[in-house]
Structure 1
């Protein structure tokens, strides 16, 4: 196993250790807030958490594939894993865009947005995002199964999948990757940049309290940076691969920042916002109250047990 495989395993392990608890906590916070007052952005953030959690839960399969122990991968695992692994990367990008559009409409058109700011619309948009990304994955599988079985894309050998493509395979695969990048990354990137730059311009010129203004601008800038630096390199490799008609060696390197997005979302996007700060505080206070209640019940039960034992001891 080479140095790059070791680095990748370390990065993926860190993503699991950091991303699993942070996304689970963020999901619980948003769920608690949604029970009190459901908003469109909460729906998008809940879906974003779910997408990141699904990505992280399937990440051990990637580590097994890259690990030093050869694991014969069942034939059905590779297509399923690739659909989930690459699909959740693009669903995360699309839900980040949906949050940005919601914030843009709320900041630039606050009155008109209230008319259409209904959770049912956000649920339909979320369903549409999942269907859009899922249909692209299923389309690849449909095109693949329609071709000669000897040119399969998803199982180069028994221990790895979706790697080491031949020139004939790249003729089919390069346009598909380009279409994925254009529809599911570059278009959302343009929309996200427009929305957050517009939000920043509105916030800077607003009469909002200076502390809240700085926090909102910080969240907007951090979200844009995460979007560009996490998803950008991987999708640029698709464009370069289409131009050169080859599978670039640095594509696996560019995939690592996309994976890092799974724990950067809650660390940067969620926990920089005041709404989540309040939510985490409420969760902490709720857990403390439950812990105190359990201790009180145990103490009362213990006291009752002692009171029942004392008379028999005196007799």
Structure 2
């Protein structure tokens, strides 16, 4: 009897041990599954990332309340549209008048072709600003449809980077005119300049083509707003957009900035050798480089920081700073006419004659650029 009791006790202990082992295995499996199912940090698209929700076959976006409050803040609905409005009021008449005078009164030189294309790019950039102004004044609401949202986004970025590329072409052309005035005459022709400008326009269009191939406007769930480009849904291939914007900034900003800095430095070196009479032209040459860095560097740096950082609550604030810097970058289109055109006394005189018809001498053609820059101390053109 004692032996039977001992055997029963051992059997009970064995069964209890098996139960403990089974419970431990279940706990281990559950712990492992919980670790595997932990959501990974996903990369963010260029805009603020939002989650999708489908209601009655309509795709809506969901964003945190903090982010929504930032998009509806005074910075977004007041400061940014006011900045765009000021850029529009300054840039539209300045570039339109400059293009009109260049097209009707300027001598057809290689530099004139570059300047006309620059004025056109700046004019197209400011011409899309009324849509962005109304969008922000309406509290981040886009009432113009998906097609116009894509077109406005592509034209905005395309013409902005096209201006950067054209500024680089102008700087290189001036380097050739100053450092190699005689040997460069053979290929500094209006025809070759026109071909270069055509290549720049095609390059800018190709670089911004992906913006026209993806949906840009989404309604915001429960807000009665349709956002354009500011909030985009997360995608499985978000890594593509990171590499796309790295390539865009590298090809359309960093590389042109490097070429512009090298060519401007070479021009400054030649001008400073000429003494004090070229001091004014040297200052304007330096101003071109400084304005490009001041207006465009902040937005491009913030764009890379925004996209390369892990998703966090800081992204809304970082993107808000990016939108402000992007609005400030449009003022470069307002500064270009005064740096390149209106600084010239000859150009201002032609503008007065063209606008006020105050002189009978309207048959004299305007030379916006001499064959060698040092011949004029009052103008960079």
Measured in 2, the distance between the counterparts of 1:42 and 1:162 equals 36
Measured in 1, the distance between the counterparts of 2:306 and 2:123 equals 29
Contact in 2 for aligned 1:196/1:220 (Cα 8 Å): yes
Matched, 1:22 2:76: no
Measured in 2, the distance between the counterparts of 1:236 and 1:193 equals 18
Contact in 2 for aligned 1:33/1:279 (Cα 8 Å): no
Q: Who is 2:352 aligned against?
A: 284
Tell me the alpha carbon deviations over residues 236-258 of structure 1, each in whole angstroms, 9 at most, x when there is no partner: 12322343255642221220222
Q: Who is 2:185 aligned against?
A: 114
Contact in 2 for aligned 1:174/1:241 (Cα 8 Å): no
Query: Residue 229 of structure 1 is aligned with which of 286, 294, 308?
Result: 294
Measured in 2, the distance between the counterparts of 1:95 and 1:88 equals 10
Tell me the alpha carbon deviations over residues 188-228 of structure 1, each in whole angstroms, 9 at most, x when there is no partner: 00000001111001100026xx34x1221121111111111
Q: Who is 1:180 aligned against?
A: 248
Measured in 2, the distance between the counterparts of 1:66 and 1:286 equals 37
TM-score by length of 2: 0.68
Matched, 1:257 2:324: no
Q: Residue 111 of structure 1 aligns to a residue in which SS?
A: coil
Measured in 2, the distance between the counterparts of 1:86 and 1:176 equals 14
- Deviation at residue 137 of structure 1 after TM alignment: 1.8
Contact in 2 for aligned 1:20/1:53 (Cα 8 Å): yes
Q: Who is 2:83 aligned against?
A: 11
CA RMSD of aligned residues (A): 2.2
Q: Who is 2:309 aligned against?
A: 244
Tell me the alpha carbon deviations over residues 26-45 of structure 1, each in whole angstroms, 9 at most, x when there is no partner: 112222343xx211111111
Larger mean CA deviation between 156-165 and 216-225 belongs to 156-165
Tell me the alpha carbon deviations over residues 275-297 of structure 1, each in whole angstroms, 9 at most, x when there is no partner: xx2022023134444699xxxxx
TM-score by length of 1: 0.81
Q: Who is 2:115 aligned against?
A: 45
Matched, 1:62 2:143: no
Which structure carries more helix by proportion? 1
Figure out how many residues of one structure are paired with residues of the other and give that number.
Answer: 276
The 3 A distance-change label for structure 1 pair 76 and 125 is same
Query: Residue 265 of structure 2 is aligned with which of 191, 197, 200?
Result: 197
Q: Which runs of 4+ in 1 moved over 6 A?
A: none
